[in-house]
A and B are shown apart, each in its own frame.
Chain A
Amino acid sequence: MRDVFVLGIGQTKFGVFEDKTGVDLGVAASVEAVKDAGINAREIEAAYAGYCRGPSTQGQMAFTRLGIGSIPIVNLNNACASGNTAVHMLYKDIAGGFCEVGLAAGFESLTEAAREGGKGLLAIKEDFGGMMGLTMPGFFSFVYQRLIDERGATMEDLCYPAIKNHHNARFNPLAQYNKPLTYEQIMESRVVVDPITVLQCCPQSDGGAALILCSEDYFKKHNINNHPKIRVAASVVHSSGWLSTRKDPLFSQVNREAADKAYTMAGIEPGDLDFAEIHDAFSGEEVAAYEPMRFCPEGECIKYVREKFYDLKGKLPINPSGGLLSLGHPLGASGARVNCEVVRQLRNQAGGYQVEGARIGLAQMLGSVLFGGNESAVVCGIQILEKVK
């Protein structure tokens, strides 16, 4: 195993783009990543595309428009963690010595998907819970209920991430929503599943994000844009099993196991993190992630929420970019996007949402979290990136 570094990032604005396909957005992000890396796209030796909706081989459709071809191109669907999975597969190629430089992209147009499949709450057909009407907000409403029952959470506590992340997004030009939200606005919006209102949910959006990863030798020779050296300190894709999906929705076992693997791989303690970008599809979901991800001791998530520990200026900023709640959540894109966000912070390029002195950041996405036994297997993708000398 050898070290892997980030040479380039690219990301589109996230939002609703009626005239663009997911492939278009993947192309835009990838072109930007190649330019940011300062290389010719034909140097790329392997490419991965993460997306969830639409036809096969969208990666080939996108990357050939950059002049990339006659190389292995692999398409991945790993739900919300598809982008992290693309990064992970490329990481393994480079760490294992199979190639020197490659491209990992995630992209999606949920506007395009809605035109074909309809919009709104959809139960997943093969999922045991889905057959009885369980949806994503339906699952997370159970998580809310458990936080209320077992941690004494109030609705103010559970809306903290929505308020915080929308505040952070005021400074992010790539976010779909740049306006702050008040607790009253959130609670007055339409109820989807008790007690989750629309403004506690991430929007269904369009976007693309891409990264160029490379070996240390390649970085030294080709870093013509003089980027800071950012190492992939850990890369983990971890799935639940029967035991983890059967447990209490209060505590995501797959988040805990994936996070522990990542901390071990990076050789760090959770307390060494300067910030994290994580899956906040629903406001209370972020609160529920603090304990399994070891962002606070077990049983103390609400205490930390009330101390505003995770604010942009707090001890451990979570989702300084504005998160899925403000960026929107184009499924396949988000896992690549959180990696781009971490790189932007480590390069000190995050502008108004910069975490001061950021040196180590974590990018996480959790995919497919319905409840129903082994048929609703959950996947968690985590990367830890570190600025090195």
Chain B
Amino acid sequence: MNKQRYFKEGIIGDRNGTPALMGRHCTDCGKKSFPPTELCPYCASDKLETVFLGDEVTVLAATTTRAPVPPYDPPFTLAIVDMEDEIRTIGRVEKDEDVMVRKGDRLAVKFGKLYEETVFNKKTKANETIDVIGYYFVPK
């Protein structure tokens, strides 16, 4: 099995044995935010706690890229989505090409390999393949 790394640290956590997206909750202003930041992006308070976010989102807009964007091969679909508590973010939509994704569609949050990367291991003096793990959405 390949080694694994998250596409970005501090985004995905473990909720009772299953992965979940992590956001912040500010105990000063009460707002939730994602991705996590060092101080509250709304009020700059440092009274932040980490919270797990839900596993469903609603599409605001979705489009398909038809040109290569390394490390991703076309076509691939990205969506701006709304999560709970006024959190709006972006993510990839894994789907069959003939499935259309439109405003208002509900998608499920999933976790897994986004792409593979090859890095040189200084200890073994050999290239090794790493699975880059992230989140994506699938039609419900």
Which residues of A approach B to under 8 Å, CB–CB?
120-123, 128-129, 131-135, 137-138, 141-142, 144-146, 149, 190-195, 241-243, 246-249, 371-375
Contacts and interface: CB of A to CB of B under 8 A. Distances in A.
B89 interface: yes
B3 interface: no
B138 interface: no
Contacts, number: 95
A149 B103 contact: yes
A248 B67 CA distance: 25
A149 B61 contact: yes
Contact of A145 (B41, B62, B68, B70): B62
A168 to B, nearest CB: 28
Contacts of A242: 33, 37, 41-42
A373 B40 CA distance: 12
Interface stretch (B46-54, B72-80, B118-126): B72-80
A122 B71 CA distance: 10
A249 B134 contact: no
Interface in B66-105: 66-70, 72, 76, 78, 80, 88-92, 103
Contacts of A129: 78, 90
Contact of A132 (B33, B37, B61, B134): B134
Given A145-B62, A149-B61, A373 B67 contact: no
B27 interface: no
Contacts of B8: 128, 131
B107 interface: no
Given A128-B35, A242-B42, A371-B80, A121 B63 contact: no
Given A122-B69, A131-B8, A132-B92, A373 B35 contact: yes
A371 B63 CA distance: 14
A285 to B, nearest CB: 14
